[in-house]
């Protein structure tokens, strides 16, 4: 999925690989099961909730990345300007 200046919302999906790119918009991922997740936004937030994957790569140039109640065997979360927060079992950790 790609958009120049809009939001991307993915809910209740099971797939091998999913790639999402937004130039200036937010990405919301909820209840996604995948082998690989690749999501990027130039200006916007990335929110991942209740999802699992073997590999998750998420990048935001200007924006926060929030991951809640999710599990990834391997992950890489990067922001240029913003924070990465990971919340599981009621505990929030800033990475």
- pLDDT tens readout for residues 13-22: 999 999 999 9
- pLDDT tens readout for residues 2-51: 998 899 999 999 999 999 999 999 999 999 999 999 999 999 999 999 99
Residue 48: alpha-carbon gap to chain centroid: 5
Can you state the percent helix, strand and coil of the chain, rounding each to 5? 0, 75, 25
pTM to 2 decimal places: 0.91
- What's the pLDDT score for residue 88? 82
33 close to 54: Cβ distance less than 8 angstroms: no
């Amino acid at each position: 999925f790609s958009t120049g200046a809009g939001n991307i919302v993915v809910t209740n999906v099971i797939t091998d690989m999913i790639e999402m790119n937004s130039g200036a918009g937010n990405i919301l991922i909820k209840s996604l099961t995948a082998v690989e997740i690749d999501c990027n936004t130039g200006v916007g937030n990335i929110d991942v909730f209740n999802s699992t994957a073997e590999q998750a790569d998420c990048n935001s140039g200007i924006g926060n990345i929030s991951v809640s109640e999710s599990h990834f065997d391997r992950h890489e979360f990067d922001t240029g300007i913003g924070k990465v927060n990971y919340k599981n079992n009621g505990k929030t950790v800033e990475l």
